[in-house]
Structure 1
Amino acid sequence: MTPVRTEPGRADRPAPADHPATADRLLGGWLGRIAGNMLGKPVEQGDLWTRDRIDRYLRRAAALPLTDYLPEPVAEGDEDLPELRPEWRECVRGRIHGSCRDDDIDYAILGLDLLETHGFGFTTEQVGDLWLLRLPYLQTFTAERAAYRNLANGLKPPLTATYDNPYQEWIGALIRADIHGWTNPGNPRRAASLARRDAVLSHSGNGVYGAMWAAALIAAAFTAPSVRAAVDTALTVIPASSRLARTVRRVVSLHETGLPWEDTLTTLAEETAGLGWIHTVPNAAVLTAGLLHGDGDFTRTVALTVRGGLDTDSNGATAGSVAGVLIGAEAIPRQWKDPLEDTVRSAVFGFDGVRISELAERTLRLATLPG
């Protein structure tokens, strides 16, 4: 399915939100995010499940090339590999009946509730208020948990992000950004502005830039003529001198030379060494490589991104969101969307068991609202 364009080569002008293709793309974004998250969840521990170990697991299960959800562990021969996450029984092929709960999906739902409750003029303080109202403390992690604790102790933004929070540049704000891209189809700058207002509750620096970049990337995917065009457009909303921007440009330049995906990730792993497996910058490198080498093919995009390691479920979710928007729900292969059974599990109060199609319809209503 060829992306809808407003003008040839442009990815920075609003898409018609009432166009039938936009509804299909929004559903594609939700389905893609959930499917990509489910694909990566069993191996979400980047310090243990390295790229090499993920591929060893897949080879032992005769699952390379990866074209479906992860297979169950083989009966023998896995003694030298880490255990899968405990949730694997709900996330591997043949066992999936609706999505399992995960914070990567919870934050997309919470973002939808934020915009429905407060509109596009929401404040960072209102983001925090909604967390306290809707989100259980023990279902938050790293920077979000630090910010939640600070909120509960009476601190206000931006102190909620900077006080006693060593995770300010980790990936948490990036995984909250999809809703701002989905509700601003073809308008990456507005999407980035909203994502920034959300992100500063818990993050600073490259943590905030990651949210802005991801929101712009998803918004651009509605009208971009190619994945590369969406990536280029997303780079325009963050400081060119930031480490995030420099790393994404590095992946783009290596892709232009024809360097294979594996060698690209090896190079970037060396250049981002020491940042940790949940930091925004190395994960953005894995995500960008998956998007560029996937080149609009949904299966290849999410498979390469998850095989890239690090924060596999978060990267798989964002890659699936971008690819789902690019091609639309109808074009997502059935092995990814049918097991989801149009159902989401969520820790967000009032949303457990909600239909994916309902979430997409509610997102479309927001996307059609005037700025």
Structure 2
Amino acid sequence: MTSVRTDAELADRVLGGWLGRIAGNMLGKPVEQGEVWTRDRIDRYLRRTDALPLTDYLPGPPAGDDGPALRPEWRACVRGRVHGSCRDDDIDYTILGLHLLETHGFAFSTEQVGDLWLLRLPYLQTFTAERAAYRNLANGLRPPLTATYDNPYQEWIGALIRADIHGWTNPGAPRRAADLARRDAVLSHTGNGVYGAQWAAALIAAAFTAPTPRAAVDTALTVIPPGSRLARTVRRVVSLHEAHMSWEDALTTLTDETAGLHWIHVVPNAAVLTAGLLYGDGDFTRTLALTVRGGLDTDSNGATAGSVAGVLTGADAIPAQWKDPLEDTVRSAVFGFDGVRISELADRTLRLVTLPG
């Protein structure tokens, strides 16, 4: 592992994480419906629209296209139509996490996470485990009951998508990042759902100092129980990559091995994300493209892959076709943040950074 060398480099990497997260989210948003937009259907769509290899945002549907319908948000998320980011919960939670740390610092409690949700986040902009936890909060329950009462989504991907801010603010300190992510995650998740948040936070923190995506993946595995299904699945992806299995065959193998889990469950999505990072091999565009082409929760996976890739490369090295259409602007349902500048969010994140030592 290396160190983050200069303030300018750190600022570039934090901004790269924000830009990468938003761009990856936008790339995956039109096909975010895993039971419809399978890996095969995504690639067939890309072939029909002459978009393979995928090097830019998804193209809009051609006239008369009789394939599955893109999500309704596609009109603001496809190439040529992107003018700032779409609103999405994957970005709302990142913004809310920033506000949490600005308000309560790194000693925040799980109860304070819930209080901030009730104050700043509209109920109908929450989904699955987060909606269950929100309802439980509104009915007077406190953690950890908010995660376990009438909540069948406890091991889905929701806590993982909230973890980036803890990685960005703890560069090179994956265990500290994972501890903060766990404190957030237990509001709504248990088991592998919590491990997913810890793993993602550590992965992003490690990306600041890791020489390769593989090194970041290896480091992130050290913060979760080695016998957990999440850890075993991530190690399986690493082994298939080490064996020089093709990306396509690796994902086919992983699909078979995680059969029966919902397309929003954290384990199969972590497999797709890990494959995107390893086979993307540090190339920003290839990492986003492979991750989203992997299917399942495409916008969430694209967002986390973009965050890791953006930290690895820094904002300056992100190709213009990904960052320029964002116009330095974010749409958000978090009260007080709609229309905020991406550069402002990165600057505010930077002011919170704590370095190891």
- Distance in 2 of aligned mates of 1:136 and 1:274: 32
User: What code does the residue aligned with 2:123 have?
Assistant: Y
Contact 2:37–2:295, Cα closer than 8 Å, also in 1? yes
1:40 aligns with 2:37: no
Contact 2:173–2:356, Cα closer than 8 Å, also in 1? no
Helix, strand or coil at the partner of 2:276: helix
The corresponding residue for 1:10 is none
The corresponding residue for 2:216 is 230
1:251 aligns with 2:248: no
The corresponding residue for 1:75 is 63
Helix, strand or coil at the partner of 2:37: coil
Give 4+ residue runs of structure 1 displaced > 2 Å after superposition: 368-371
1:135 aligns with 2:132: no
The corresponding residue for 1:157 is 143
Quote the RMSD (CA, aligned, Å): 1.1
The corresponding residue for 2:2 is 5
Please list, as runs of the form range in 1=range in 2, the aligned pairs for 1:207-356 lying within 5 A after superposition.
207-356=193-342
Residue in structure 1 matching 2:37, options 49, 69, 94: 49
Q: Cα deviations across residues 236-295 of structure 1 (Å, max 9, x unaligned)?
A: 000000000000000000000000000000000000000010000000000000000000
Q: Cα deviations across residues 177-229 of structure 1 (Å, max 9, x unaligned)?
A: 00000000000000000000000000000000000000000000000011100
- Distance in 2 of aligned mates of 1:260 and 1:24: 33
Contact 2:172–2:356, Cα closer than 8 Å, also in 1? no
Helix, strand or coil at the partner of 2:295: coil
- Distance in 2 of aligned mates of 1:110 and 1:19: 25
- Distance in 1 of aligned mates of 2:289 and 2:30: 13
- Distance in 2 of aligned mates of 1:369 and 1:228: 22
Helix, strand or coil at the partner of 1:304: helix
Contact 2:120–2:334, Cα closer than 8 Å, also in 1? yes
1:31 aligns with 2:22: no
The corresponding residue for 2:350 is 364
- Distance in 1 of aligned mates of 2:336 and 2:77: 23
Structure 1 length-normalised TM: 0.95
Q: How many residues align?
A: 357
- Distance in 2 of aligned mates of 1:56 and 1:271: 24
Contact 2:171–2:354, Cα closer than 8 Å, also in 1? no
1:180 aligns with 2:177: no
Contact 2:173–2:355, Cα closer than 8 Å, also in 1? no
- Distance in 2 of aligned mates of 1:351 and 1:288: 31
Contact 2:171–2:355, Cα closer than 8 Å, also in 1? no
| 1:75 to partner: Cα distance | 1.0
| 1:5 to partner: Cα distance | 1.8
